[in-house]
Structure 1
Amino acid sequence: MRRLSALLSTALLLVTGALAGAAGASAKAPAEAAPPVTGHGDPVLVRDIEIPVPGQPAVRAYLVRPQRPGSGLAGVLNLHWFEPGRASQDRTEFLAEATALAGRGVVSLLPQLTFPWAGDPVGDARDRATVTAQLDAVQRAYRRLLAEPGVVPTRTAVVGHDYGAMYAAGLAAREPGLRTAVLLAPDATWANWFDLYWLQLPEGEKAAYRKVFAGLDPVDLVGRLGSGAYLQFAEADRFVGAQTRAAFSAAAPEARVSLYPGEEHDLGATRVRDDRLAWLAGRLGLRG
């Protein structure tokens, strides 16, 4: 825990510098954190950038990378969770991890997601369109990661939590070259949480609403990753229960699955993070 606190402090210092720089910079000139901070491994650079998305507002994201130019770098796209009232339910969620991984030769991109963070489901086909638009933005962020100097496309991964994990499954289905994904506490379908926490549809309308997302539900997409999927679940999760976990296990029999006794939906324990980083290190061939 002490090491994690130090990483968090470093990450927050870097972001403060990045945001301060951004206040005086134009949208076309992303800010850089200055000076880079040297911690474990090489000096780390954090930039606050904007990623253009056709037909949508630009996506704000943190780009975290080793300061030293180089080749043969791995890449990780981090997609955050949704939990109103929690400070970590935005692009800062995985910032400490990204800072640590930069010292091991990893470039990370952490985009800000917007649905349902900045808009509510409405209960019809417009929700599928909005999910698809968010996936378009996520895919643009992934392509921006691939374009970062030194990143090797075959050494990339996506890490997502909650709704972020659901979008991660959708991204992996769109990008055949993306073969590594860590999914923390995803729901199996888009309709379930939208209905349960926003819509409360009449019983006779629930089945039709589920059909709105046919072919787009995470549980129907995760199997494409085969052994490249790692599912992390919390045993005491009040949002993701045994039935959902079983649905994912059936849909992705080759995936690695971890269930953490006593953990809740935030999956914030050090052991969860350490398991995730160790698995990524093996999949991406990380040093250190």
Structure 2
Amino acid sequence: MGITPPRLILLAALASCGPATPAPAPAKPDPAPPATPTAAAAPRAASSDPFAHDASAPLDVKREGTGARDGMAVVVELSYASARGGRVPARLVLPLASGKHPAVLFQHRGEGSKDEFLEEARHLAVAGIASLAIDAPWLRPENKGKSLIDDARALYEQGAVDLLRGVELLASLPEVDGERIAYVGHSYGAHLGAIVLARSPRVKAAVLMAGAVSMTRMTQQGEHPFWAKMWREHPESMKTLVETMAPIDAEHFIGAAKVPVFHQFADHDEHITYAMAGEYLAKTPDPKVFRFYEADHALNQAARDDRRDFLVRVLVDLPKSPEEERARSRIPGYFIAKLPAAYPLPPSTAVLALPDRVYRKTADGELRLDAYRPAGDVPPKGRPAVVLVHGQTHPALMRDARRWAGYETLARILAARGYVAVVPGLPSAAAGPEPERWLANIGAVAESTAAAVQYVRKNAKELGADGGPVAVWAASAGGMYGVGGALGDLAGDVKCVVALYPVLGDDLLLTVKPPLPAATMDRVSALRALERRGKGAAPMLVVRAGLDDEKLNRSIDDFAKIAAKTGADVTVVRHDKGHHGFELLDATDETRGVLEEVFAFLDRRMGGPRGAGKTGAR
């Protein structure tokens, strides 16, 4: 049975795009003549290389004039030859300054056009980044009248080859530094991005927006009612589409990526479920980072801001040292460490920073902390203090842990609310590269955590704190030495505890070889500490991230059971759509609501901040 849906419905079927309009709204293409695929159409036979083309074929770039210049950029309309026939309509956006610039290649989503990224490209130009955006094959005159079902495979292959040639075009331009090129693709563009990353060594980083690792499975498993309707009304045509497109799904190519990849997903995506997003993430090699946004498939301004920050970091802000260069290229945590908290930030003038306070001296050198308090006068009795205890990552990143953007921004948020927020830089728990040595030094980390808490109490007047017991805010591996310490050695110094997605069980500790001493196990095992302390433990709020590691979440469940058995005051808040690191990675209303619960808990337990300020808009 033939089907004749309008062009935009076919584009949605082809490229997993929803009806939401991005900002700025792209110009709508003229309606195409009805396309009538045949139910009995046979899948196209896959060639040995579906993206084969003559790389030496001339690009035949044709510019339309010298370009329109405004106060931000030079915008040039151009086209170049497609290796699969016809010409590729494109738009080049250049910085006003002369010289060679890093560059970004943009590919819009299925329902859009190159207009989708125009304003974003102009703002990148202000940051010194050039860009090239191209139109997908089905928007071109020579492809009008083609069936977007029967010809889907050919159109996708052409789109991928056009992008590969787009990279070469950028590298050939006198205004572009061919060694600093990144790729940004939305939906359809995120699908083709996997192919670009696998096939173009020139691309040094990528942002993949609202993508599916398998477009064909998305049509079968997606929650949007459109897919159910298509399968119900046109089962043979949809089966043909799936069989034809499956060999070029992104999952066959993303594993070859060797550069940093930033995935952006939407909390309310009409097409990409959390499971689908997780699948793309799981199949993307390190280094990678991701973030979810309070948005639909079109994403939002916060996602645009994060893309700009990421692109500037990978293309403009050159590594300051060989160690940083290695971290960028190999360590996943490098980019996560640069993400701010997903919560409205206060104005910089609302907070006073007290940096670089030496809180402990060891054989390996001095350990320092940074403190933040509200700007202005300190109340006579001082302010309650919160000590933020970070987790663990690659040792190369640990020396700057107190300056990780997430902790610095959380500290500023707490300070603007009226607290003295302290971020100590803790040492690495690793004593070697072998997994069984990753936590061998955790005893020293626990000692440093205790030293930081005691420093805050002893130096309360200097910091503007009240000198009383502090609140401990621990996350991830910080649950071992932060929560364990707060319930053990530091019980008299801690008034309450906040723990986000904490490691509370013994599983990781038991992997250490040679085994940790019994005294160290007692010190860093939160489960054992709670069993000992029971009802006398400091009040705790634990946030359980629903999409976190199952074993870690079982340790939180076990902790809650012990609390119920012993009468300990432990509240578990569930963030059902939260990932490990949700305050950084899930920029959603649910995350902000969870953080509000955390702040309310602190206010109740710490007696309310004195002279609390208000956080401002981000």
TM-score, length-scaled by structure 1:
0.75
1:37 aligns with 2:78: no
Tell which deviates more after alignment, 59-68 or 156-165: 59-68
Which stretches in structure 2 are left out of the alignment for 5+ residues? 1-22, 28-60, 221-226, 319-618
Which stretches in structure 1 are left out of the alignment for 5+ residues? 1-6, 13-26, 84-88
- In 1: Cα distance, 2:211 partner to 2:254 partner: 11
* Structure 2 residue corresponding to 1:114, chosen from 128, 137, 162: 137
Task: Report the Cα offset of residue 227 of structure 1.
Answer: 5.4
Q: Read off the aligned partner of 1:121 and give its amino acid letter.
A: L
Q: 1:204 to 1:266 in 2, by over 3 A?
A: closer
Q: Could you tell me whether the CA contact under 8 Å between 2:137 and 2:155 is conserved in 1?
A: no
- Secondary structure of 2:114's counterpart equals coil
* Structure 1 residue corresponding to 2:304, chosen from 258, 264, 273: 273
Q: Could you tell me whether the CA contact under 8 Å between 2:62 and 2:80 is conserved in 1?
A: no
Task: Report the Cα offset of residue 145 of structure 1.
Answer: 1.1
Task: Report the Cα offset of residue 66 of structure 1.
Answer: 1.9
- In 1: Cα distance, 2:79 partner to 2:229 partner: 30
Task: Report the Cα offset of residue 175 of structure 1.
Answer: 0.5
Partner of 2:126: 103
Task: Report the Cα offset of residue 68 of structure 1.
Answer: 3.4
* Structure 2 residue corresponding to 1:186, chosen from 211, 219, 223: 211
Q: Read off the aligned partner of 2:312 and give its amino acid letter.
A: A
Partner of 1:48: 77
* Structure 1 residue corresponding to 2:113, chosen from 90, 94, 101: 90
1:35-87 Cα offsets, whole Å, 9 max, x none, are x2124xxxx2111001112341111111000233213x10100111123xxxx
- In 2: Cα distance, 1:266 partner to 1:256 partner: 19
Query: Which structure exhibits the higher relative contact order, with contacts defined as CA atoms closer than 8 Å and separated by 6 or more residues?
Result: 1
- Secondary structure of 2:257's counterpart equals helix
Q: 1:190 to 1:50 in 2, by over 3 A?
A: same
- In 2: Cα distance, 1:224 partner to 1:60 partner: 29
What's the % identity of the aligned pairs? 27
Task: Report the Cα offset of residue 32 of structure 1.
Answer: 3.3
- In 1: Cα distance, 2:301 partner to 2:197 partner: 26
Q: Read off the aligned partner of 1:68 and give its amino acid letter.
A: A
1:128 aligns with 2:153: yes
- In 2: Cα distance, 1:141 partner to 1:92 partner: 17
- In 2: Cα distance, 1:80 partner to 1:219 partner: 20
Pairs within 5 Å for 1:136-215: 136-192=161-217, 196=227, 200=231, 202=235, 206=239, 210-215=242-247
- In 2: Cα distance, 1:229 partner to 1:283 partner: 10
Q: 1:151 to 1:204 in 2, by over 3 A?
A: closer
Q: Read off the aligned partner of 2:160 and give its amino acid letter.
A: L
- In 1: Cα distance, 2:278 partner to 2:139 partner: 25
Q: Read off the aligned partner of 1:259 and give its amino acid letter.
A: F
Q: Could you tell me whether the CA contact under 8 Å between 1:79 and 1:160 is conserved in 2?
A: yes
Q: Could you tell me whether the CA contact under 8 Å between 1:122 and 1:199 is conserved in 2?
A: no
Q: Could you tell me whether the CA contact under 8 Å between 2:193 and 2:208 is conserved in 1?
A: yes
- In 2: Cα distance, 1:226 partner to 1:219 partner: 15
Task: Report the Cα offset of residue 100 of structure 1.
Answer: 1.2
Q: 1:120 to 1:257 in 2, by over 3 A?
A: farther
Q: Could you tell me whether the CA contact under 8 Å between 1:159 and 1:183 is conserved in 2?
A: yes
- Tell which structure's C-alpha radius of gyration is larger: 2
Task: Report the Cα offset of residue 211 of structure 1.
Answer: 4.5
Q: 1:55 to 1:273 in 2, by over 3 A?
A: closer
Give the RMSD, CA atoms, in angstroms: 3.0
Partner of 1:20: none
Task: Report the Cα offset of residue 185 of structure 1.
Answer: 0.4
- In 2: Cα distance, 1:55 partner to 1:211 partner: 22
Q: 1:137 to 1:284 in 2, by over 3 A?
A: same
Task: Report the Cα offset of residue 189 of structure 1.
Answer: 2.0
Partner of 2:291: 258
Task: Report the Cα offset of residue 116 of structure 1.
Answer: 8.0
